[in-house]
Amino acid sequence: MTSETTPTSKSTRGPWPVARVLRDRNAGLYLAGVVVSGFGTSALWLASGVWVKDLTGSDGLAALSMLAMWAPTLVGPALGTLADRVRRKPLLIATNLLLAALLLSLFTVDSPDALWLLFAVLLVYGAAGVVHDAAESALVATAVDPRLLGDFNGLRMTASEGMKLVAPLAGAGVYAAYGGASVAALDAVTFVLATGLYTALRVREAPPRRPVVNWRRRTAEGARYLWGHPHLRPLVLAGGATMLCAGVNGATAYAVVDALGHSPAYAGALYAVQGAGSVVVGLLAGPALRRLGGRRFAAAGIALLAVAVTVRAAPYDAVAMASSAAIGAGLPAVLIAALTAVQHETPERLLGRVTATANSLVFTPNVVGLAAGAALVELADLRLLLAALGAALLATAVPLARRPARADGIASGAPSTTDPA
């Protein structure tokens, strides 16, 4: 394994990263696919909970429907192995078409007795999403100019967060007018459209190597590579710690709103401002990665998040809005840095497994944090809880900030990994 930093090429110095990425045909098609499929997924995520609540009247079952979409991340390393056994482009196309067909079966869900089908579809949906993300990340690393990966991942975050601002409202409108099955049909249409975009990609994939080893050993190979890599492990572990704290912080949202003296609906305004912060940092991520390097960019984002979480307990609307925007800007930094590092530092034959393992280590703690936060917010003083989270986040940022930028292979956006024989 070698790691080196090369001078930034002229193609990465332009004044506006959006234009640089969109001039790359494959990158533009990928981003369009993210926008289209992300719209449908965000709409279904909200509508599924409302659908279950309307059919059963149970808040617990409504929350369980959302958990069903997250649960497959627990076995992400095993699911990611599939992305290394077949060509990634056909896998993306097949996954999208499978989900489109599967979603149409939800037209039969019209009573509590049929809820098992909705939960089954959501579980498969989540599992397919893990495979899809692993295959997409691996294919992006080979189909998009390596010098554009930081910009691409930032814009991908912008597109994803942008859809979260508008899609839930659209999904709620469709649900109110036509019911849950219509939202599922809308999501199915977005998968078909995304399939067309993926089909248009121009990428040559070599046949994957098929060594004679079992599924468990192949899964472990990706996990061992990630854990043993001196550059990837710190970023991924910092991402998991950050998402754990972010989960606890997310559980305090309504306590913060209550401290401000507003109704629970005010949380929607805070989430919108947070999403806007994420959109902005996605646009700036590429230049920031090149200037700071991945670890320092991540450390800066985590430090900003720490300050924002600490001060959001202050009972002032202006502070709450500003801290929400800062949370939205700080949180994605470590996610973008970690994904870009994985794409640069991982041999192509392992990318699916390593990406899925990294995603599991980063995003599973968020679910744990939400559960822990739901208990802690009832037991602890809000100001003390948020101050403790801020301290934990600062402790996470410090080791990343101390690492020298010259050892950071993504500082220039140049690939730094060679595939060992």
Cα–Cα distances (Å) from 201 to 94, 133, 138, 140, 236, in that order, read 15, 16, 14, 10, 29
On whether the CB atoms of residues 351 and 84 are closer than 8 A, the answer is: yes
Give residue for tokens 């507003």.
262
d(CA 395, CA 102): 44
What's this model's pTM, rounded to 2 decimal places? Answer: 0.71
Rounded mean pLDDT for each run of 10 residues along the chain, 421 residues in total: 36 56 82 85 80 78 74 79 82 92 92 90 90 83 78 81 75 85 93 92 72 65 83 92 90 81 73 84 85 92 95 90 92 90 84 82 84 80 92 94 56 42 33
d(CA 336, CA 356): 15
d(CA 120, CA 68): 8
d(CA 297, CA 143): 25
pLDDT of amino acid 413: 45
The CATH homologous superfamily for domain 14-202 is MFS general substrate transporter like domains (1.20.1250.20)
Tell me which fold the domain 214-413 belongs to.
Growth Hormone; Chain: A; (1.20.1250)
Domain span(s) for CATH 1.20.1250.20 in the chain: 14-202, 214-413
pLDDT of amino acid 192: 94
d(CA 264, CA 181): 28
- How is residue 364 written in tokens? 């599973």
pLDDT of amino acid 2: 35
pLDDT of amino acid 209: 64
Residue type, 350: L
Residue type, 100: A
Q: What is the largest CA-CA distance in the chain?
A: 63
pLDDT of amino acid 9: 40
pLDDT of amino acid 368: 83
